Every structure is written in structure tokens, then in C-alpha cells.
Amino acid sequence: MPAIILLRGLPGSGKTTLARLLSENGKYPVTSIDSYFTDTETDEYVFNYKDNHLAYKHCEDQTRDFAAKKTKKIFVDNTFTLEWEMEPYFKIAKEFNYKIFILTVENRHNGKNKHNVSDEQIKKMAEKYKVILM
């Protein structure tokens, strides 16, 4: 059965690195909110809060397109600190008959976030971060 795998965690936890590893060197696609803000030629990341909603939509659309093409595995790399951020992917999984898995990535390797998110902001994100037990 095909699968959508959501990699969630705080900035600097290693989500992107793990997603690239799990994608088997690009054999399987990785979608990300960050990719919207990253220049593909220079690999420079330039975040613009006003465009954040466009980045979410772009990531969801890419995931939907890969699911429509029946891609065996799709990795989605995002913080997903809030439940509503995952909801669109649950809907995509249901619509295209995909299993969905959520992997929480923890920063146990002393990684640094490359997006200049302050420690204060990361602490605020951590306070909102919930693990759902069903």
C-alpha cells in the first residue's frame, strides 16, 4: 500500500536530513514548506511570513499531485507543531487510499536550525507541540 510519511519536529531537529535519507537519494519525493522559500539555484532560504499561506498550499498541492500519480512513498517535511497543519495530508491520504505515518524527529544530535529561528521562538513552538494518543 502506498504511504504518506509526515516528518514533524522543531526547527533544527533534522527533519529535512532524515527525509532526504529516507527518500533513497530522491527515488521518492520530499515535499516541504521550506522548499517554497528556497531558491533552487542558490539553495538560499528566504522566509517571508506574508507568503506562508502560499507555502502551505504549495506543499499540499505537490503532495496531492504525487498521490494522484500513485507515487509509492511521499515524504512531507514540516514542523507540524499544530494538529491543523496535518489535516490536509490526512484528507489527501484518505482521498487516494494512502496509509499515513507520522514520524517525530528529535534534536538529539545538537543540530542547528538553518532558518534563523530564535531559541525563544523554538521554545514557544515546543509549548504548542502535542503528541496525539489515540
Q: Which domains, and CATH codes, for the chain?
A: 3-128 (3.40.50.300)
Q: Which residues touch 110 (CB under 8 Å, ≥6 apart)?
A: none
pLDDT of residue 109: 67
Instruction: Report helix angle 83-95 to 52-68, nearest 10.
Output: 20
User: Which residues of the chain have a pLDDT value below 50?
Assistant: none
pLDDT of residue 112: 67
Among 79, 82, 81, 35, smallest CA distance to 57 is for 35
Backbone φ and ψ of 59, nearest 5°: -65, -45
pLDDT of residue 47: 82
Residue carrying C-alpha cell 496535518: 86
Look up residue 54 and give its amino acid: L
Report the run of H or E that residue 93 belongs to, with start and end: helix 83-95
Distance of CA 29 to the CA centre of its chain: 12
Distance CA 123, CA 61 (A): 30
Q: What is the pLDDT of residues 47-78, one digit of tens each?
A: 888 998 999 999 999 999 999 999 999 999 99
Report the run of H or E that residue 75 belongs to, with start and end: strand 73-77
pTM of the model: 0.85
